[in-house]
Structure 1
Amino acid sequence: MKGQSIFLFLFSLLLPWSSVFSQFPGDNSRNNGSKPTLDGFAEVSWEASYGQVRDKFLSLAANPQSDEKIEVVHEDKEKSLLVRRNGIFYLYRFYSTPKLVLDSRPKDKNQPRPEKETSPDEDEHLEPGKLFSVGVSFRYLPGKDVQSKLENKYGKPKKETLDDKKIGGAVIWELTDERQAPPAGGFIVQWKEAYKKQPFTRRVDYFSSKVKAQIEKEYKEFFSAEEIKTLRDLIP
């Protein structure tokens, strides 16, 4: 009886590990040795709208025939969606061009103006949010095991940065198609941190390269947007 209890205890420790690994998009081996690209996260493509992703998980959560345990834990409309799926947390992040940036851009004279101006109390984004990143959070796992699973799918990482103690840091995969501009695909960041003096991982982030490039471009626009808008208002 005692031996059975020990086995059940060990199994309870191993089960969450296999559960996490089975839900990584990088859990399967590479096909034909070709260079993979990251076109989204699991079954959701990059740039999927907030509404599409939200409806998908609400539908899965309400499906009585599904064996998965899915719950939408928290939502920030058009910005983020936190989903717990089989005990693992997934933070879906969305991006839309800030209203300030849109207002600072040259207007198409043939484009009809909106009937009413947006009030200051309304949201600072006019466009629907589109998926650009997913963060996966789970219990501590050995960093080398997580990295091995990702390498099985995506090959060797492009870069690895470590802290002074050679324990904490980040491992980065760039999975893009450089023939397109901006590059299609995305990149992965596996975070390592010291736990019991060993490198462990409890978070992996996935990003869209295309939307990342858009954010970087509009970040620069944002800081000059107010001045541009003011000048345009002064000189119609």
Structure 2
Amino acid sequence: MTTGEVKLIGAWASPFVMRPRIALNLKSVPYEFLQETFGSKSELLLKSNPAHKKIPVLLHADKPVCESNIIVEYIDETWSSSGPSVLPSHPYDRAMARFWAAYIDEKWFVSLRSFPKAQGEEETKAALAQLEEANAILEKAFIDCSKGKPFFNGDNIGYLDIALGCFLGWLRVTELTGGHKLLDEAKTPSLSKWAERFCNDPAVKPVMPETAKLAEFAKKIFAKPHA
């Protein structure tokens, strides 16, 4: 099934929604972006993803596909003849891409999210050390996966690039609010250069949120309630 109307239920600020948006751009698939309002869930979202009630949801010919990485794989397989392949062609490389994508969501992103929440000097130091360790692990993963090419996937943006790159907007906001350079050119030179290439790619640039706009949004959603 490669025909039919394509819609994406999501929100501009969500890194997980960015994943299918980048994949659709890479494959040159036109789609309608259905924006959810922060703090509420539309009837279409609840109907389309009754299990988790979360964005993103891809609607292809009115059939829903849920969970960001699953959607990316679906896009790659459905529009396999259009644009570059998102998943690596070799089974081992595909397995490694999926492994590191899981590491990013389960370990790295947790470290990134916990850093701005740290209280006091000692807790902040510990959170920063944990994030720097995770960055160092991903630096080595990039060197191993890219094999000297510009992206994790080689010459073109792929599955693992999307899995990590979708968080770069929020990483910049965390750097801005936390006052620390989290992708340090001295400590993670390969990742730092990769991040710049990724953000400037034509498939990414239109959907990467501006840091200032994202920072303002972050202030609203993380604002402490008044006593």
Give the TM bin, normalised by the shorter chain: under 0.3
Structure with greater proportional strand content: 1
TM-score (norm. length: structure 1): 0.22
TM-score (norm. length: structure 2): 0.23
Bigger Rg, structure 1 or 2: 1
Structure with greater proportional helix content: 2
